[in-house]
Amino acid sequence: MIVVTSLDPAIAARLRRDEAGLVAAVVQDDATGDVLMLGWMDDEAVHRTLTTGRVTFWSRSRREYWRKGDTSGHTQHVRSVAIDCDGDALLVRVQQVGAACHTGERTCFLAGGELPAVVGAAPVEGEGAA
């Protein structure tokens, strides 16, 4: 995939992309801390997200740029963007208008729902050392 992008080369140099040229973007509600969704970005989507105040993804299924909310009205307004230690993920904190998920749920993880999981806990210090 060859995309002409204006992404700052210093930022582009920090991205560690997958085979499809994408990094993962975790979107978190800046007001509530809720994780709203996970999307994918190529360099140009990162550039648009950093420079326009609106979150833009690359849609893997539709193979097109997707500025969140253009169809649904459920826009995401950028509050901050951080990159992780190895450059394969971004954390985008947003002001979310309406539901983040296309299903109408507030988050995509509420839409998918919980999986049955064994709950773990760290050992309490002092216990088990009798």
**Residues of this chain that bind its own copies (CB under 8 A):** 11, 14, 18-20, 24, 26, 28, 32-35, 37-38, 49-54, 61, 75, 77-91, 95, 97, 101-103, 105, 108-122
Residue ranges of alpha helices (H) inside 2-101 are: 9-12, 43-52
Beta carbon of residue 22, minimum distance to its own copies (angstroms, whole number): 9
Nearer to its own copies, 85 or 129 (CB): 85
Beta carbon of residue 103, minimum distance to its own copies (angstroms, whole number): 5
CA distance 110 to 74: 16
In DSSP terms, 65 is beta-bridged to 58
Tokens of 119: 């709950």
CA distance 79 to 55: 10
Beta carbon of residue 55, minimum distance to its own copies (angstroms, whole number): 9
